[in-house]
Amino acid sequence: MRRATATVLLLIGLVGLVSLRTAYNLTREPAPGIRVRWRDGTSSPQRAWLEWKYRLEGRSAPQGLSYSYVMMDTSTANIRALVTDPEVSDTDDIDRERFAIPWETANESRQFMWIADRLPVLRQPLARWTLVASFAFMAAAGTRAIIGAVNWRALARAAREWLHQPPDGTAHE
C-alpha cells in the first residue's frame, strides 16, 4: 500500500470515529418510557417484530397485553406509524394528535438515545457497529501500513550513532 493511501485511510478512520463519538456526546439524551397496549390476537412473534420495527426496547411490566417500553426512535414518522398501526390498541405517554412524546410528562429511562437513532440506516445497532468497525479497520490498516513503511533498521542505526556521540559534539575518530 502506498504511503498516501495509508495516510488517507488513517485519516478517514480517525475522523469517522471522532465524528461518531462527538455526535453521540452532543446529542445523547435519556430515551422516554411509554406504554403500548397490543390488540387482542397479536401473537408473540408479531409483537416482537413490531417492537423491532418501532424501536421499542426494554419490554417490562406486562399487564395483560399492555407493556412498558423505552422508545429509541422518537421521530414524528415513527410515533405516527406506531399510533396508527392496527395492531396497537392504545398508547400511554404519547400525544396522539401531534404524534410526539411530551417531555414534561415523559418517563425517563436509563437507556440513552442519540441522533443515529433517528436516521433510517443508522437506527439499527448492527449498522452502527458495522460503521464503527469499518472506521476502526481503516485507522488500523493505515497505521499498520505507515509503520510498515518505516525503515526501522536505519532509524535504529542513526539512534545508536547519535547516542554514542561525545557530549561536546565532536565526532568519534
Each residue of 84-95: pLDDT tens digit?
Answer: 999 999 988 888
Q: Say if residues 29 and 70 touch (Cβ distance below 8 Å).
A: no
Same domain as 51, residue 19:
no
Supply the range of the domain harboring residue 59.
Answer: 29-113
Residues 6+ apart with CB under 8 A from 77: none
Tell whether 158 is covered by a domain. yes
- Kindly report the pTM of this predicted structure: 0.67
Q: In Å, how far are 65, 84, 143, 152 from 69, measured between CA atoms?
A: 13, 17, 43, 57
Tens-place pLDDT, residues 9-55: 999 999 999 999 999 999 998 888 899 999 999 999 999 999 999 99
- Three-class secondary structure of residue 69 per DSSP: strand
Q: Answer yes or no: is 120 within a domain.
A: no
Can you give the length of the chain in residues?
A: 173
Regarding whether 103 and 72 lie in a shared domain, the answer is yes
Overall number of domains in the chain: 2
Whether residue 56 lies inside any domain: the answer is yes
Asked whether residue 156 is assigned to any structural domain, the reply reads: yes
Indicate if 101 and 47 belong to the same structural domain: yes
Inside any domain, residue 171:
no
